[in-house]
């Protein structure tokens, strides 16, 4: 009962004499503004997405061997990033020594900005060809663990501006989703077009 009384009190406010009356039919300009505020985000395929970004962060790692030019490796990994984030994503450089004493350089970063992470997922989904998407779909459970999706991209293809799955000397990706359930992560990947 007390709740009902509170509701009636709120709805039966006296009108304010100095406020403008609202026009029941907003002008076209107001309609556009309302659409911008009320509409949900749309991905590159035109699908409506929830207002919350499903990815918490993305870890990227790539090794540059002594026979590779460091600048070309960095170009390859930067080619995988969304255009608007290339200047904001910074890679940490670590010098390592291989088993035979050969120098290896590790470049790694964590993308915490969820909008950049979502843009990366959209770019990856639109860049992978159907053969790679089918291959990923057929072995998706091998790529998922505790809300993380592990993907390896071909370094040479990335240098050329293309996305291609590879397990030989790749760019390592770990996408951590906010939903830890395997089914939910698969559903998100399907909605973004990463899986057929």
C-alpha 54/C-alpha 143 separation (Å) is 17
Residue 183, pLDDT score: 93
Answer yes or no: is 153 within a domain: yes
Answer yes or no: is 135 within a domain: yes
Spacing of C-alpha 87 from chain mean position: 17
pLDDT tens digits, one per residue of 108-124: 999 999 999 999 999 99
**pLDDT tops 90 at residue 42:** no
Region 43-49 average pLDDT? 45
Gap between the terminal Cα atoms of the chain: 52
Answer yes or no: is 128 within a domain: yes
Question: What 3-state DSSP class applies to 12?
Answer: coil
Answer yes or no: is 3 within a domain: no
The DSSP string of 173-192 is EEEEES---HHHHHHHHHHH
Answer yes or no: is 73 within a domain: yes
Residue 18, pLDDT score: 36
Region 172-186 average pLDDT? 92
CATH number for the domain spanning 76: value is 3.30.1440.10
Buried b (16+ CB within 10 A) or exposed e, 118-155: bbbbbbbbebbeeebbeebeeebeebbeebbbebbbbb
Residue 17, pLDDT score: 39
Region 71-90 average pLDDT? 92
**pLDDT tops 80 at residue 3:** no
Region 155-175 average pLDDT? 96
Give the structural domain span for 128. 55-192
pLDDT, greater one: 23 or 176:
176
Rounded alpha-carbon distances, angstroms, from residue 100 to 48, 66, 73, 96, 124: 52, 12, 22, 12, 35
Total number of domains in the chain: 1
Answer yes or no: is 12 within a domain: no
Region 133-140 average pLDDT? 96
This prediction has a pTM of 0.72
């Amino acid at each position: 009962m007390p709740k009902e009384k509170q509701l009636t009190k709120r709805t039966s406010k006296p009108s304010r004499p100095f406020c403008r009356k609202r026009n029941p039919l907003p002008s076209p300009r107001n309609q556009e503004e309302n659409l911008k505020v009320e509409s949900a985000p749309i991905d590159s395929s035109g699908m409506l997405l929830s207002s919350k970004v499903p990815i918490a962060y993305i870890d990227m790692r790539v090794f540059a061997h002594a026979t590779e030019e460091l600048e070309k490796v960095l170009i390859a990994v930067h080619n995988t990033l969304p255009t608007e984030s290339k200047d904001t994503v910074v890679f940490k450089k670590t010098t390592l020594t291989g088993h035979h004493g050969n120098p290896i350089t590790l470049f790694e970063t964590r993308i915490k900005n969820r909008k950049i992470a979502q843009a990366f997922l959209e770019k990856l989904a639109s860049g992978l060809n159907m053969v790679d998407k089918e291959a990923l779909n057929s072995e998706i459970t091998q790529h998922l663990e505790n809300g993380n999706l592990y993907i390896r991209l071909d370094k040479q293809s990335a240098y050329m501006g293309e996305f291609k799955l590879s397990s030989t000397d790749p760019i390592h990706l770990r996408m951590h989703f906010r939903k830890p359930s395997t089914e939910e992560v698969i559903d998100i990947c399907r909605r973004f077009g990463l899986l057929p």
